[in-house]
């Protein structure tokens, strides 16, 4: 299961993570808990202090790389065990990023829960000011992150189940555990499930065979008249000739053909050799042209 923390900078996310870890250690001692934070994104760092976070969030490139690192680490730990609880303690302020993590959880058939540290910018700013100087977010960066924050919405499937943690109120750990352990995971759909291997394995063979067909069509249409049937060497199918075809037009058809096959892995798997690929492509050209 995945516990995703999100909130403004200095809104108490790490505190909530510690509270949940303590609760789980007492109530569910048989479950291993794994905590992930920004410290894994900076070589040699052992703490996720503000200095680390400032280095990450002060630049777009560094932040993008950090999000990728956090996501990869989260997916690896989720895949390692279906019973371990993985807690991702980060800003997680981008709606699209939370959706990506939700898709990963669905693909692995795990459950998840989102904890929103729901405090006002004023409160978070005052808490940030109370920290030691070396642990504070710089004021300009703090304001930028607050402006960029996309608040979670429980009606969005990727933000649900949503547990609010306002101000200094105790975290409802029992509600978090209910969401993680007492419900079935969302079923994977086409957007989150891996395609059969045929969808990727066939591409090299299809690439060569379809390029060969294009060359043969260009050669066969020399001297042909509208209404003729072009004989494509090595293919039982014939191409009905209606007009002069250009290589650019054939390339567009080829691209559409391959794109369509990616969504039909069963059809791709049935094309076991170059001859079968050629016939499929000629059939497509007859219908498309």
DSSP-assigned letters across all residues of 160-205: -SEEE--TTSPP-HHHHHHHHHSSPPPPP-TTTSPPPTHHHHTHHH
Q: What are residue 118's phi and psi, to 5 degrees?
A: -90, 85
Q: What is the DSSP letter of 88?
A: E
Q: Answer whether the bond into residue 161 is a cis peptide, omega within 30°.
A: yes
- What local confidence, expressed as pLDDT, does residue 175 receive? 95
- What local confidence, expressed as pLDDT, does residue 205 receive? 63
Low-confidence ranges of the chain (pLDDT < 50): 44-46, 191-192, 194-202
Rg (CA), the chain: 27
- What local confidence, expressed as pLDDT, does residue 268 receive? 57
pLDDT in tens, 167-179: 878 899 999 999 9
Provide the token pair at 143: 């304001």
Q: DSSP per residue over 271-284, as a string?
A: --SHHHHHHHHHHH
Provide the token pair at 169: 């109120």
| CA distances in angstroms from 144 to 13, 140, 286, listed in the order given | 18, 6, 56
- What local confidence, expressed as pLDDT, does residue 203 receive? 55
Q: What is the DSSP letter of 137?
A: P
- What local confidence, expressed as pLDDT, does residue 120 receive? 95
- Pick left, alpha or beta for residue 29 (phi over 0 → left; psi -120 to 50 → alpha; otherwise beta): alpha
Rounded-to-integer distance, Cα 166 and Cα 116, Å: 8
Rounded-to-integer distance, Cα 161 and Cα 207, Å: 45
Q: DSSP per residue over 11-72, as a string?
A: SSHHHHHHHHHHHHHHH-TTS-EEEE-GGGGSTT--S--HHHHHHHHTSHHHHHHHHHHHHH
Contact 4, 115 (CB under 8 A): yes
Rounded-to-integer distance, Cα 194 and Cα 279, Å: 28
- What local confidence, expressed as pLDDT, does residue 271 receive? 57
Second-level CATH architecture of 2-192 = 3-Layer(aba) Sandwich (3.40)
Domain coordinates in residue numbering, the chain: 2-192, 201-288
| CA distances in angstroms from 255 to 274, 275, 285, listed in the order given | 17, 19, 12
pTM, full prediction: 0.64
Write out the H or E segment, with its range, that includes residue 129. Answer: helix 121-130
Contact 101, 1 (CB under 8 A): no
- What local confidence, expressed as pLDDT, does residue 30 receive? 93
Residue among 220, 212, 256, 261 at smallest CA distance from 238:
220
């Amino acid at each position: 299961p995945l516990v995703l923390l999100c909130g403004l900078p200095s809104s108490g996310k790490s505190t909530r993570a510690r509270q949940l870890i303590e609760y789980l250690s007492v109530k569910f001692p048989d479950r291993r808990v794994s905590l992930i934070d920004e410290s894994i994104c900076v070589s040699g760092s052992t703490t996720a202090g503000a200095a680390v976070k400032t280095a990450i969030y002060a630049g777009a490139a560094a932040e993008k790389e950090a999000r990728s690192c956090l996501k990869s680490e989260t997916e690896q730990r989720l895949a390692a065990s279906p019973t371990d609880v993985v807690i991702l303690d980060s800003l997680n302020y981008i709606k699209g990023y939370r959706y990506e993590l939700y898709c990963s959880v669905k693909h692995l058939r795990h459950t998840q829960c989102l904890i929103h540290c729901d405090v006002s910018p004023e409160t978070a700013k005052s808490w940030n000011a109370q920290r030691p100087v070396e642990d504070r977010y710089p004021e300009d960066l703090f304001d930028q992150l607050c402006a960029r924050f996309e608040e979670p919405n429980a009606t969005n499937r990727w933000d649900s189940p949503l547990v609010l943690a306002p101000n200094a109120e105790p975290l409802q750990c029992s509600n978090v555990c209910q969401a993680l352990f007492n419900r079935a995971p969302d079923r994977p759909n086409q957007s989150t499930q891996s395609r059969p291997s045929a969808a990727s394995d066939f591409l090299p063979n299809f690439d060569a065979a379809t390029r060969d067909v294009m060359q043969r069509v260009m050669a066969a249409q020399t001297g042909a008249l509208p209404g003729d049937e072009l004989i494509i060497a090595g293919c039982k199918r014939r191409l009905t000739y209606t007009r002069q075809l250009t290589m650019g037009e054939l390339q567009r058809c080829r691209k559409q053909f391959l794109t369509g096959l990616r969504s039909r892995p069963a059809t791709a798997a049935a094309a076991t050799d170059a001859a079968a690929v050629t016939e499929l492509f000629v059939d497509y050209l007859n219908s498309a042209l």
